[in-house]
A and B are shown apart, each in its own frame.
Chain A
Amino acid sequence: KAGVTQTPRYLIKTRGQQVTLSCSPISGHRSVSWYQQTPGQGLQFLFEYFSETQRNKGNFPGRFSGRQFSNSRSEMNVSTLELGDSALYLCASSLGLAGVPEQFFGPGTRLTVL
């Protein structure tokens, strides 16, 4: 099976702009989670989508939003970018079932905000 893929791999934006990141999960996986990874904060949970519904949400401002499509692909949007949003954004997919919690990561999108 193909692994989790993310596009684009690298992005450079300026403050105030918005950005959309995409994640394609492993075939058959219905849950997609998004994380922000920074050197000082580690992996911070943004939100999780399952069957097109946001099931869990972390403690990030409303500028961070997401959605999931019927084919389980997910997008994450960040509006009004700030310098502090520079990070590696990782998505992870899983079956989304309580008995099968294993989660697998994509390669990430490196976002730089200037």
Chain B
Amino acid sequence: GENVEQHPSTLSVQEGDSAVIKCTYSDSASNYFPWYKQELGKRPQLIIDIRSNVGEKKDQRIAVTLNKTAKHFSLHITETQPEDSAVYFCAASITGNQFYFGTGTSLTVIP
């Protein structure tokens, strides 16, 4: 089955700096890659996603890039703010039926 690896497991940045989280996947058939943000004690929230026919997608301060050849995708957060502090999960899926998640990145934004 699919295997998703996520790095780093923890990340600390100064407020205003950028944060990058990287994921790799193993199954070339995966075609949908969502990112979730989970604040302490809350449910994972879908923040951005990308499909295999697109190389990059942006939504305000967050962006996701996908390299199908290398089988990796990344989350980029610019101008980080304290409220960006959370655990971020990447996932890979084939047509959305079954999702395989990375182990999460705990992001801390230092004011």
The answer, yes or no, to whether A12 is at the interface (CB within 8 Å) is no
User: Given A42-B89, A42-B102: A108 and B46 within 8 A (CB)?
Assistant: no
Number of interface residues of A (CB under 8 A): 29
Residues of chain A with a CB closer than 8 A to B65's CB = none
The 8 A CB mask of B81-111 against A (1 = contact, 0 = none) is 0000000010101011111111110000000
- Interface majority SS (helix, strand, loop, mixed), chain A: strand
The answer, yes or no, to whether A55 is at the interface (CB within 8 Å) is yes
Closest to B100 in A: A45
User: Given A45-B99, A45-B100: A101 and B43 within 8 A (CB)?
Assistant: no
Q: Which of B49-105 contact A (CB under 8 A)?
A: 49, 89, 91, 93, 95-104
User: Given A42-B89, A102-B34, A103-B34: A90 and B44 within 8 A (CB)?
Assistant: yes
Return the 4 tightest CB-CB contacts between A and B, nearest first. A101-B96, A43-B101, A42-B103, A98-B95
List 22 interface pairs A-B (beta carbons < 8 Å), by A numbering. A31-B96, A35-B101, A42-B89, A43-B44, A43-B104, A45-B99, A45-B100, A56-B98, A58-B98, A92-B99, A96-B96, A98-B95, A98-B96, A98-B97, A101-B93, A103-B34, A103-B46, A103-B99, A104-B46, A106-B43, A107-B43, A108-B43
